[in-house]
Chains A and B, each alone.
Chain A
Amino acid sequence: MSATLKNVAVSEGHTDRVWSLSWSPSGSLLASCGGDKTIRLWKLKDDNSLECIHTCIDTHERTIRHVCWSPSGQYLAAASFDSTASVWKKVNNNGEIALEMLARLEGHENEVKSVSWDASGSLLATCSRDKSVWIWDMDEDEEFNCVAVLHGHSQDVKAVKWHPSKEILFSSSYDDTIKAWEDDEDDWYCSHTLTGHTSTVWDVSFNSDGSKMVSCSDDNNLIIWDTKVIGDGPKQVCTLSGYHTRTIFSVDWSEEGYIASAGADDSIHIFREDGPGDSSEDKKVSFSQTSVERKAHGGDVNCVTWRPAKREDGTILLASCGDDNLIKLWALEISSDVQIMVKFRFQKPPYMIMVTAIHMVEVLWLSNHC
């Protein structure tokens, strides 16, 4: 199987490196932040280009490291090196979309590195170089209360990410581990520590149903973890090595099953789990690289993120940003030489299968034709 990335847009605007990107859940807006201490909102236009529609300046005193939209798309959280996190509300002033600051979350001793909303949108996690992970609860009045201050990592915590459906928080750190945090009657505790990487773990991401997690590291490897049953702890099922030649900073798993990873080797790699037909008869999980973009950015690629919704024409979009101050959009083009295995049973009345691209099988009901 192969699928390639085609660069469809390059957006300038940030005046320093771009650190992080987050698509709104509908995919209509992309938020970005960076070393220029700004948060920018970009509108995705029909021609797949990005138009900057709003810029927040003078809100953080230092670099803004990470941004994350809430599941409702109403709130954006941002993490800054000025030791605070901020929460913004999306407002619509006569058709002009803007962000208004709702709360500033203080408490970390130094640089806040990452923020993440849980699936319900009421819990927000933050993590910092101070080695701690904090969990905040947003109530109906949009008030924030700290519900946990979690110590456990022995070093800088690089990223936090909630499980897509369960109330379990994952954090990854400079101490080479990933920790899972769960609560017991309002008291949060570290339920599992995942070891496998041999250097800093920079980021984690889940597949759409949360049964698997991928992590990326300074050891140049990606590790796939089985997170179906958390009980005994996530199990390492597969390691992807030999692809990246330098630190992998960012990883994102698309709804369609594609893993994008990017890092200090300026490249973006795309992987996909091998189907049962591709792999040997034993049920080992394996992944293959479907595409690589070697010079994706003119410097470190800091973040890659899939657009959560397909375009009307079925195009899957990936956004990336880097030390070259740029944001780029990529379309995943699926080559036509692929074999498609479709198990389909015709029923009455007859259906027609229309294949637009791999793994996108649209079924149309036709009245009296064919």
Chain B
Amino acid sequence: MTFSGALKLTDLDDFITPSQACVKPEVIQKNQDKKARITFHPDGEVVEEEEDGNSKVLESAKITLNDCLACSGCVTSAETMLITAQSGAEFLSSLEKNKMEGNAKKIVVVSVSPQSRASLAAFYRMPIRQAYAKLITCLKSMGVDYVFDTSFSRDFALREAAAEFISRYRREYGEKDKELPMLASACPGWICLAEKSHGDFILPYISSTKSPQQIMGTIVKEYFAKQLDTTADRIYHVTVMPCYDKKLEASRDDFYNDVLSTRDVDCVLSSGEILDIIKGLGKPFSDYEESAIDSLFTNIRGEELFGVAGGSGGYIEYIFKRAARELFNKEVTEIQYQPSRNNDFKTLTLEVEGKKVLEFALAYGLRNIQNVVRKLKQNKDQNRYHFVEIMACPSGCINGGGQIRPQEGEDPKKLLKRVELLYNETMKKDPEDNEASEKLQRLWFDGVFTLDAKTKLHTQYHAREKMQTNALNIKW
């Protein structure tokens, strides 16, 4: 299995795939200049015998997720690298282990993304709300204590990103001359590409706002832990995402708590992996009762789920509306994209007195990302776009690589349409109308884009140094 999910879904081959092979060289510290003989035993053991007769078993080199993140060998990591730390099997074994723990039992939290909900609903051909309610029952039957909704934390991300944009537009935030265009930061595939391939040049343009997944991590591990009168390491936090690269994001050092040795998100499962887990339980999904949806950290009013428009988190539209209002006192009621060279590149413009004051772009898929970065590097169009919603997958997160694959004989484009339709069934509501999350933002962070919010809801990016990847150093 490779990252070809998106490719199959849309018949586009435009997707960041893992490199041929991991090329990170192992660095071995050698103290003395002794000669040694290395013997490979048939059982796989490798023994080094030194001249003086000492012998020792050599350890096999292991590549961890962190090695992957720090290496510039591949643009993204191969799925096989991710399996050990973040897989359905790991999730199930953690739950089993946890059941045996008695008093030392951890609290298990699962945060589900709205795109994954839609993918599941499309697979089981039922309304989103029903699929979500059954999923909650299913998860709780496995020992999960709480199920949250990442559209709740996404509203934090959107408010912060909009405030950050306005501040950058006023040249009050970010690196001098690199405030604009602000580039979206929620897609870990794009972040990975930016850090590894474009480094220091591009990073200042990227919004510092954490992704909805990582904000949920902060909420769960800091604020929810406090509410429960426990510590972050006593909570096992799992997210369900439309994307494999979210596993890489969760594994970043920036989201690791050194003191308590815990991550804000302990395990990330893709929509496809959660489906496999459901199937593995044996009971038909339709037979599960519909649990009441918890109102805690969930975008729900009464019985109705709600969220922003936009299959990739709605950044472009919300920031556009918010900036138009705050910077130019214009209410944008209808979003009208200008057609462009392909479906994955669209622009939004606000004109005031005949002058284009806001120009936003949406750029999905590697080809469009490439063009955005190219123009930026050439210093052309530098001031053309003010904000670009960049996502690595063609058609955005709703078509993420981790979404459930089309069934045998199913047209991938039709499936994507169905998932989009279901996704858009959810009531549309802007983040400022989400009283519950706004209230918590005031309570915990003293408001939007405050010092507290900047500390807790924003992050940093790190250029990954280009390595000489040609380990054999062949001259050709």
Q: Footprint of B on A, CB under 8 Å?
A: 35, 63, 81, 106-107, 109-110, 129-132, 134, 143-152, 155-156, 186-190
**B12: which A residues are within 8 A, CB to CB?**
187, 189
The distance in angstroms between the C-alpha atoms of A134 and B4, with both chains bound, is 17
Question: How far in angstroms is the closest Cβ of chain B from A201?
Answer: 18
Asked if residues A109 and B13 are in contact (CB atoms below 8 Å), the reply is: no
User: What would be 27 A-B contacts, judged by CB atoms less than 8 Å apart?
Assistant: A63-B476, A106-B374, A109-B19, A129-B20, A130-B19, A130-B20, A131-B20, A132-B17, A143-B380, A144-B374, A145-B371, A146-B366, A146-B367, A146-B374, A147-B342, A147-B367, A148-B13, A148-B14, A149-B14, A149-B15, A150-B13, A151-B4, A186-B343, A188-B13, A189-B11, A189-B12, A190-B13
Are the C-beta atoms of A146 and B370 separated by less than 8 Å? yes
| Residue B365 CB within 8 A of the other chain | yes
| Docked CA distance A268–B74 (Å) | 39
Smallest distance from the beta carbon of B60 to chain A beta carbons, Å? Answer: 26
Whether a CB of chain A sits under 8 angstroms from the CB of B35 is: no
Residue of B nearest to A143 (CB): B380
Interface string of B358-377 (1 = CB under 8 A from A): 00000001111011001001
- Choice from B7, B15, B371, B377 contacting A146 with Cβ under 8 Å: B371
B377 CB to closest chain A CB (Å) equals 8
With both beta carbons as reference points, the residue of chain A lying nearest to B196 in the complex is identified as A109
Q: Which residues of B contact A35 (CB under 8 A)?
A: 475-476
Contacts of B17 in A (CB 8 A): 131-132, 151
B75 close to A (CB within 8 Å): yes
In the A-B complex, the 10 residue pairs with the smallest Cβ-Cβ separation, listed nearest first, are A146-B370, A146-B367, A151-B13, A149-B366, A150-B13, A149-B14, A186-B342, A107-B370, A149-B367, A145-B371
Known: A150-B13, A151-B7. A187 touches B342 (CB 8 A): yes
Q: Which residues of A contact B75 (CB under 8 A)?
A: 109
Which residues in A have their C-beta under 8 angstroms from that of B15?
149, 151
Question: In the complex the two chains form, what is the Cα distance from A129 to B368 in whole Å?
Answer: 21
Report B-chain residues with C-beta under 8 Å of the C-beta of A106: 197, 370, 374, 377
With an 8 Å Cβ cutoff, the count of chain B residues facing the other chain is 29
Report the separation of the CA atoms of residues A188 and B14 in the bound assembly, to the nearest whole angstrom: 9
> A152 to B2, alpha carbons, bound, how many Å?
12
CA distance A254 to B325 in the complex (A): 65
In angstroms, Cα B476 to Cα A35, docked, is 7
Q: Does B356 contact A (CB under 8 A)?
A: no
Contacts of B257 in A (CB 8 A): none
The answer to whether B374 touches A149 (Cβ under 8 A) is: no
CA distance A150 to B370 in the complex (A): 13
* B370 in complex: contacting residue of A81, A149, A186, A187, CB < 8 Å: A149
Residue B341 CB within 8 A of the other chain: yes
Chain B residues with Cβ below 8 Å from A63 are: 476
Report the minimal beta-carbon distance from B208 to chain A, rounded to whole angstroms: 25
CB distance from A104 to the nearest CB of B (A): 9
Contact residues in B for A149 (Cβ distance below 8 Å): 13-15, 365-367, 370
Q: Which residues of A contact B10 (CB under 8 A)?
A: 187
Residues in A with CB closer than 8 Å to B93 are: none
Question: With contacts A131-B20, A145-B341, A146-B370 known, is A110 near B13, CB below 8 A?
Answer: no
Known: A132-B17, A143-B380. 19 other contacts (CB 8 A): A63-B476, A106-B197, A106-B370, A106-B374, A107-B366, A145-B371, A146-B366, A146-B374, A147-B341, A148-B13, A148-B14, A149-B13, A149-B370, A151-B15, A151-B17, A152-B13, A187-B10, A187-B11, A187-B342
User: With the chains together, A148 CA to B12 CA distance in Å?
Assistant: 9
* Cα–Cα distance between A150 and B394 once the two chains are bound (Å): 12
Q: Report how far A147 CA is from B12 CA in the complex, Å.
A: 12
Q: Compute how far the CA of A151 lies from the CA of B4 in the bound complex, rounded to whole angstroms.
A: 9
Q: How far is the CA of A130 from the CA of B19 in the complex (A)?
A: 7
Smallest distance from the beta carbon of A133 to chain B beta carbons, Å? 9
Interface string of B285-310 (1 = CB under 8 A from A): 00000000000000000000000000
Does B469 belong to the interface (CB within 8 Å)? yes
A146 to chain B, nearest CB (A): 4
| Min CB gap B365→A, angstroms | 7
Contacts of B342 in A (CB 8 A): 147, 186-187
Which B residues from 450 to 471 make CB contacts under 8 A with A?
469
A144–B14 alpha-carbon span in the complex (Å): 18
- For residues 1 through 54 of chain B, which have their beta carbon under 8 Å from a beta carbon of chain A? 4, 7, 10-15, 17, 19-20
Are B13 and A81 in touch, CB under 8 angstroms? no
Cα-based distance from A63 to B20 in the complex (angstroms): 21
Chain A residues contacting B365 (CB-CB under 8 Å) are 149
CB distance from B384 to the nearest CB of A (A): 13
CA distance A134 to B367 in the complex (A): 8
Pick the most buried of B11, B197, B367: most chain A CB atoms within 10 A of its CB: B367
